[in-house]
Amino acid sequence: MFGGWSLAGITALTSGRFVNVSVRGNPTSTGVNADRPNALRAWHFSHDQRTLDGRFDTDAFAPNEPFMVGNAGRNLIEGPGLANFDFALSKNFNLTESKNLQFRWEAFNLSDIPQLTVSNLQVGTGSLGQINRAGRPRDLQFGLKFIYR
């Protein structure tokens, strides 16, 4: 009962994904609803200045003029990083020579670290640059599998 347990784990540590800032509506009238704003100045916040209410200087961006393309580049904003730990514990119980019962306990996002995303990146909206969405919290599951040959 106490021997023969197997442990497994996966660790994922990543920096933030770079994402685009866009403009509400379609000022260029191109029909591609992904217009870019004008960058007025440096928008970067240092890591210690970043909060849930602001990942970057939102006043550094302004909507582009009608029928003009904005000067902001692609993928300017770095989203929050990710730290995720998955864990599994399992044991096979031999019932007969050809029949086993496997018990599994799995934990996804074991440490329950919030997986945050910058959900609003449209200039002209009140919540520009705010983090108000997170990925899945810790998820635990148990499994029992009957194996026969």
Q: What per-residue confidence (pLDDT) applies to 34?
A: 67
- C-alpha to C-alpha distance for 17 and 39, rounded to whole angstroms: 20
Specify the amino acid at residue 146. F
Specify the amino acid at residue 31. G
Q: Count up the domains in the chain and report the number.
A: 1
In degrees rounded to 5, what are phi and psi of residue 29? Answer: 60, 35
10-residue mean pLDDT profile of the chain (149 residues): values are 88 90 77 78 88 87 85 87 94 92 95 85 84 88 94
- C-alpha to C-alpha distance for 131 and 127, rounded to whole angstroms: 9
Which of these, 59, 30, 44, lies nearest to 124 by C-alpha position? Answer: 59
Q: What per-residue confidence (pLDDT) applies to 33?
A: 59
Range of the domain at 142: 5-148
Specify the amino acid at residue 143. G
Specify the amino acid at residue 7. L
Q: What per-residue confidence (pLDDT) applies to 32?
A: 64
